Amino acid sequence: MKTRKVLDKLEDSLCHFLISELCKADPTKRGSPELYKYKGLNISADPKSRAQEKTISIRIGALEAEFKIDDCEKNSGCLSPDEERLVMLWLAKNEVNYSLKTIFVKKAGEMKMAIIPFDLEHFYSN
């Protein structure tokens, strides 16, 4: 599946998770304008990153934080304390973590050899 499609689904999932968790204590918040900021949240990832620990960036309004995928901890940045706690809970969900890890999986068929030595052509030709 394409990386952008996976990230779009995860953005939608995180949006619904944050709204439902924040409305548990006070259900009257559900239609309030302060929750509209979650409709525009953004998740970004660099699948070509060579870093050992894979991370994603989550932007909510003007605030952005980077989270590690493996241990669901905040790497850098800042969100509100409630939002950070809820994002970490969301990242710890099995289906979310699995979806995020599929973004960073390298496909086996993508390896290409740029230069073929002329005396070894018979080894590399199909």
- pTM of the shown model: 0.77
CA 31 to chain centre: 27
- Of 81, 69, 50, nearest to 10 (Cα)? 69
**pLDDT tens, position by position, 8-49:** 999 999 999 998 898 887 888 777 777 888 888 999 998 888
**From CA 38, how far away is CA 17, in angstroms rounded?**
10
pLDDT of residue 121: 67
Span 65-105, pLDDT tens digits: 999 998 989 999 999 999 999 999 999 999 999 998 888 88
pLDDT of res. 37: 84
